[in-house]
Amino acid sequence: MSIAMMLREGTADKHQETEKVPYIRAIFRGGLDTQTYTYQLESLLAVYTVMEELYRQNKDNPILSKLYFPALFRENSLKEDIATFQKKFGTKLRGSISKATQNYIDHIQNIAKTKPELLVAQAYVRYLGDLSGGQSIKKVVAKTFELEGNEGTAFYEFPEIEDLMAFKGIYRQNLDTLPLNDTQKAELLAEANATFDLNKFLFIELDSDLKENIGMDRYQTLLPAG
């Protein structure tokens, strides 16, 4: 089985678990408020800043080098979106790193110290998610907050990549060329699943913020019937 297929099939259950977090469902039901979404952007900025800096530091690693694509980096686009929401809607930042975000960052930093090649799993989960489901979220966010053009949705834009679908194919092809033995493949899959958990816990934390910011009555209307 190819590495790309191993990761896709081997993370399917964790992927579904993450998608079932009420916060994700609230996004697609148009239930987000601008403040909670700003918190989401803030947390993601902290995660991507660390992940991308570590990727730069290890870009000559024989494994990481095959998947080093600066065109994917999201740090600047997240800063742009945060600035937009602060200016347009008057939202505020937490002012400190949340618990789930800190746990996520700590994990990435520990991985980079011990087995930097496993940053591949971190990048795989985040970037392919941004290129895939993230494109659907972009449309919902724009509609929910009545944003025009690319205003406030720079995070989901990849101006240096002409064809997202074709690029995902190239990314998966490069994954399949990674010089990994069976033990390393198993570690990569385990790390990808761990990354889905880190994202899930981040969204669970944001779910608590959403309840507080929109109130329980409104929040209840966003939950699936039954």
- Rounded CA-CA distance 71/158 in Å is 7
Each residue's pLDDT tens digit, 154-192: 999 999 999 999 999 999 999 999 999 999 999 999 999
Question: Does the pLDDT at position 226 exceed 60?
Answer: no
The closest alpha carbon to 63, from 19, 134, 100, 118, belongs to 118
Each residue's pLDDT tens digit, 116-164: 999 999 999 999 999 999 999 999 999 999 998 889 999 999 999 999 9
Each residue's pLDDT tens digit, 38-65: 999 999 999 999 999 999 999 999 999 9
The closest alpha carbon to 122, from 195, 60, 53, 45, belongs to 195
The closest alpha carbon to 142, from 156, 130, 163, 127, belongs to 156
pLDDT at 114: 94
Question: Does the pLDDT at position 223 exceed 80?
Answer: no
Quote the pTM value: 0.95
pLDDT at 149: 85
pLDDT at 99: 97
**Which residues participate in the annotated binding site?**
8, 15, 124, 172
pLDDT at 95: 87
Which domains does the chain possess?
A: 3-220 (1.20.910.10)
**Which residues participate in the annotated binding site for heme b?**
8, 15, 124, 172
Query: CA 19, 20, 21, 26 torsion: positive or negative?
Result: positive
Radius of gyration for the chain, computed over Cα atoms and rounded to the nearest angstrom: 18
- Rounded CA-CA distance 99/122 in Å is 19
Question: Does the pLDDT at position 112 exceed 60?
Answer: yes
